[in-house]
Chains A and B, each alone.
Chain A
Amino acid sequence: MHELSIAQNIVEIIHQYVPAAERDRVRSVFTTVGEHSGIVADSLTFSYQAITAATDLQRSMLVIEPQPFIIRCSACGTESRTEMGSIQCPACRAVETTVLSGTELRVREIELEDEPQEQS
């Protein structure tokens, strides 16, 4: 259950990009979470809601975009989505492979509501 600590890291990143006065305008925070990143999406969403409740980010929503686990084989060049996150190439059984996606944990975008127009 380290999703709470992950959610805290996400909030810190939001704070770096959005000045305090504008944080109540944050609506969506888009994250990329690999299927083998070790993160449980529901648990991360729950943790994010829990730590932003009663803060200026309380109206923001964490959006999790899952990424499949894909490897590329250095021997035969095949790109595969492997069962259970194995790093062995299912085509030729070689073990020299590169993980292309599926382990990442990134904050991609923050979406802010427009500032209310000043009444003249």
Chain B
Amino acid sequence: MSIITIERKVLEKNDELARKNRELFARQKNFVINLVSSPGSGKTSLLEATLAKVKQRASVAVIEGDVQTDLDAQRVAKLDVPVVQIVTNGGCHLEAKLVHDALQSLDLSAVDLLVIENVGNLVCPANYDLGEALKVVVLSVTEGDDKPLKYPTMFRNASVVIVNKVDLLPYVNSNVETLKQNALSINPNLTVFEVSCRTGQGLDAWCDWLIEHSARKG
């Protein structure tokens, strides 16, 4: 038997491309967030509500990731925001290469804030760095307050948690304090926002945070 010693990261090709994306974002002074969640947590609704509030205050662009269809890109385009749709054709996550290719269709020099909406999935996107400044996890109260404990990798790698659909709290068995405690027990550095895209509750605080961080980047 002969042995070849390797010691290589399995995802080094992705990490290398993510590093290139990150360098490009730094040169262009873009603040980039990677929006992740389970399917149906309200990522796209949150994005629509957020864009409506921040697009007057910052120049925004969006990359949409979905397994199929450009329905989400159509929703975002209605808000007059530049958007590129990535269809993964079955792929359960975005990779740095897909984002890199999508960037060719955007004029980054004119962008303060770039939002990458990942494929709805709380497992796989945790492994793939896209070059973003930080990950934002959207978690709706209907999903249960124990979710952070079930998907710790994503919550450990994230910087912000947005608890969505808080208008539904009277009708579900989720306790928002338990949910926050569970998320913070995995990662005490998380910034948490409680919002409802339907009623608008909490959106201003989240949008102010976003604008403040986008401006700091520039």
- Which of A's residues lie within 8 Å of B, judged by CB? 1-2, 5-6, 9-10, 12-13, 17-18, 27, 31, 36-39, 84-88, 95, 103-114
Q: Are B187 and A87 in contact (CB under 8 A)?
A: yes
Q: Which 4 A-B pairs have the closest CB atoms?
A: A2-B124, A95-B188, A85-B152, A110-B4
CB proximity of B78 to chain A, nearest CB, Å: 31
A-B contact pairs, 24 of them (CB 8 A): A2-B92, A2-B127, A2-B128, A5-B91, A9-B11, A12-B13, A13-B8, A27-B1, A36-B152, A84-B149, A84-B152, A86-B156, A86-B186, A86-B187, A87-B187, A95-B188, A103-B153, A105-B10, A105-B127, A107-B7, A109-B6, A111-B3, A111-B4, A112-B2
- Indicate the member of A12, A39, A87 with the most B CB atoms within 10 Å: A87
Complex Cα spacing A29 to B32, Å: 37
Q: Are A9 and B10 in contact (CB under 8 A)?
A: yes
Q: Interface range on chain B: under 10, 10 to 19, 20 to 34, or 35 or more?
A: 20 to 34
Q: Are B1 and A13 in contact (CB under 8 A)?
A: no
Q: Which of A2, A38, A88 contacts B188 (CB 8 A)?
A: A88
> Which residues in B have their C-beta under 8 angstroms from that of A86?
152, 156, 185-187
B173 on the interface (CB 8 Å rule)?
no
> Which residues in B have their C-beta under 8 angstroms from that of A85?
152-153, 156, 186
> Which residues in B have their C-beta under 8 angstroms from that of A114?
1-2
Across the interface, name the chain A residue whose C-beta is closest to B122: A38
B5 on the interface (CB 8 Å rule)?
yes
Question: Secondary structure of the B side of the interface?
Answer: mixed
- Indicate the member of A37, A86, A108, A110 with the most B CB atoms within 10 Å: A86
Q: Are A87 and B188 in contact (CB under 8 A)?
A: yes
CB proximity of B181 to chain A, nearest CB, Å: 12
Complex Cα spacing A111 to B3, Å: 5
Complex Cα spacing A110 to B95, Å: 26
Query: Would you give the 0/1 interface string for B7-34, flagging 1 where the beta carbon is closer than 8 Å to chain A?
Result: 1111101100000000000000000000
With A86-B185, A86-B186, A105-B127 given, is the CB distance from A36 to B153 under 8 Å? yes
Q: Which of A5, A88, A106, A111 contacts B9 (CB 8 A)?
A: A106
Query: Would you give the 0/1 interface string for B109-121, flagging 1 where the beta carbon is closer than 8 Å to chain A?
Result: 0000000000000
> Which residues in B have their C-beta under 8 angstroms from that of A105?
9-11, 127
Q: Which of B8, B93, B149, B187 contacts A2 (CB 8 A)?
A: B93
Complex Cα spacing A119 to B61, Å: 67
B178 on the interface (CB 8 Å rule)?
no
Complex Cα spacing A106 to B13, Å: 12
> Which residues in A have their C-beta under 8 angstroms from that of B152?
36, 84-86
> Which residues in B have their C-beta under 8 angstroms from that of A1?
92, 124
B123 on the interface (CB 8 Å rule)?
yes
Q: Are B4 and A38 in contact (CB under 8 A)?
A: no
Q: Which of B1, B4, B189 contacts A18 (CB 8 A)?
A: B4
